[in-house]
């Protein structure tokens, strides 16, 4: 049988709201005394890339290097795709794809 306790219930927390933060001070879990909870995941630029709540609703997002949302999907079936046809790669990534060193790559115009 699956245990359906929330994190606070499992830990025996009595002081609410209960909040867990990551090393950067961003909230990754928040729970109210009634058992409602929210989870968050962030990318390296502190954009929320995953959100989930105790109601069962969830959403996923992706962002480009400029902070623009390029993808959204949620549990209600919404999908928004704004990905560019432009491919962004570092020289290191290009070198890895071709199995060579960065010093061997020459860019022509």
Per-residue confidence at 4, pLDDT binned at 50, 70, 90?
Answer: confident
> Residue 63 pairs with which residues in a beta bridge?
69
Joined tokens for residue 100: 């060579």
Q: Is residue 26 part of a domain?
A: yes
Q: Is residue 103 part of a domain?
A: no
For the stretch 10-52, pLDDT in tens is: 999 999 999 999 999 999 999 999 999 999 999 999 999 999 9
Is 90:84 a contact under the CB 8 Å cutoff?
Answer: no
Q: Is residue 33 part of a domain?
A: yes
For the stretch 50-103, pLDDT in tens is: 999 999 999 999 998 889 999 999 999 999 998 776 677 888 988 898 899 999
Q: Is residue 30 part of a domain?
A: yes
The model's pTM is 0.69
Structural domain of 44: 7-84
Half-sphere exposure of 83 toward its Cβ, with a 13 Å CA cutoff? 9
Is 54:35 a contact under the CB 8 Å cutoff?
Answer: yes
Q: Is residue 79 part of a domain?
A: yes
- Inform me whether the pLDDT recorded for 2 exceeds 70: no
Is 65:88 a contact under the CB 8 Å cutoff?
Answer: yes
**Cα 75 from chain centre:** 15
Per the structure, how many domains does the chain have? Answer: 1
């Amino acid at each position: 049988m699956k245990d359906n306790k929330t994190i606070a219930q499992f830990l025996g927390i009595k002081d609410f709201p209960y909040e867990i933060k990551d090393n950067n001070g961003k909230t990754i879990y928040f729970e109210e005394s009634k058992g409602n909870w929210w989870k968050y995941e962030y990318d390296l630029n502190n954009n929320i890339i995953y959100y989930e709540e105790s109601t069962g609703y969830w959403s996923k997002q992706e962002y480009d290097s400029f902070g623009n949302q390029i993808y959204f999907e949620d549990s209600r079936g919404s999908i928004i795709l704004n990905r560019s046809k432009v491919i962004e790669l570092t020289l290191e990534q290009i070198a890895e794809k071709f199995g060579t060193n960065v010093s061997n790559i020459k860019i022509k115009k």
